[in-house]
Structure 1
Amino acid sequence: MPDTHPPHRPDRIAVRGLTAHAYHGVYETERRTGQTFRVDAVLELDTAPAAAGDDLEHTVDYAELARALHGVLTGEPVDLLETLAQRLADVCLADPLVDAVEISVHKPEADLGVPFDDVTVTIRRARS
């Protein structure tokens, strides 16, 4: 008899819209004056052990995670959003409970020379 159960989809914890004024970018004006950046982090992990025991020790403390991500966001400037996204993903994957993470970095004030709403780089990284 074939397996009729859908494939397991991982549980997710998301921190969205983490915002900071930072100095990332290729251009000198971006490094001098800075601009607003936003980050969305979606972590994949098994939350069943935390739920079963109602125990924070068995899941990700998202307040602590948000502070760590904010520290990277406001930390050492980088040229590329791709580099920033990777550094943010590395923070998330440092927690052994996290199996994978999707990071989106938003740069809504980028100077594109034309009207736009947002520039976003999104990466997904999984534990190797």
Structure 2
Amino acid sequence: MGTRADLIKLRGVSAVGYHGVLDFERRDGQPFVVDAVLHCDFAEAAAGDDLTKTASYAEIAERITQIVSGEPVSLIETLAVRIANAILGEFAAVDAAEVTVHKPQAPIAVPFDDVAVTVFRER
């Protein structure tokens, strides 16, 4: 199928998760923030003004928070892939997904603003 020029962008979808390598991360949890850029084709949805012909950003945001607050993983890379794969598997209108997972309270010993990973997956 390939990517499309039409994009849905979700920024700052937040949830508490228990991801990380260290014991206290799994025990105490911390906030994770997800940005998703979804490649779609809006032609049919726009022609009929029909939500069922596109991807519901509300449903996708809810799904992202379910995954973030769900089963813990060690790496945010794994979390990002898990989210991208779920979006592609569950929302047929999405041809490709770029997912960024931010871990703003990562256990880093020096001052920092954010740490994030980004994955891109397509059908």
TM-score (norm 2): 0.94
Over the matched positions of the two proteins, sequence identity in percent amounts to: 55
List runs of 5+ in structure 1 lacking aligned partners: 1-7
Q: Specify the SS of the correspondent of 2:52.
A: helix
Partner of 2:113: 117
- Residues in 2 aligned to 1:116 and 1:28: alpha-carbon distance in whole angstroms: 22
Which contiguous aligned blocks of 4+ residues in structure 1 show a shift greater than 4 angstroms?
none
Larger relative contact order, structure 1 or 2 (CA cutoff 8 Å, min sep 6): 2
Query: Which amino acid is 1:49 matched to?
Result: E
List runs of 5+ in structure 2 lacking aligned partners: none
Partner of 1:25: 20
Deviations 1:27-82 (A, max 9, x none): 00111111110000110010111111000010001111111111001000000001
Deviation, structure 1 residue 121 = 0.4
Deviation, structure 1 residue 97 = 1.4
Deviation, structure 1 residue 9 = 5.2
Tell me how large the CA RMSD over aligned residues is: 1.1
Q: 1:104 aligns with which of 82, 100, 106?
A: 100
Number of equivalences? 120
Of structures 1 and 2, the larger Rg is shown by 1
- Residues in 2 aligned to 1:26 and 1:14: alpha-carbon distance in whole angstroms: 30
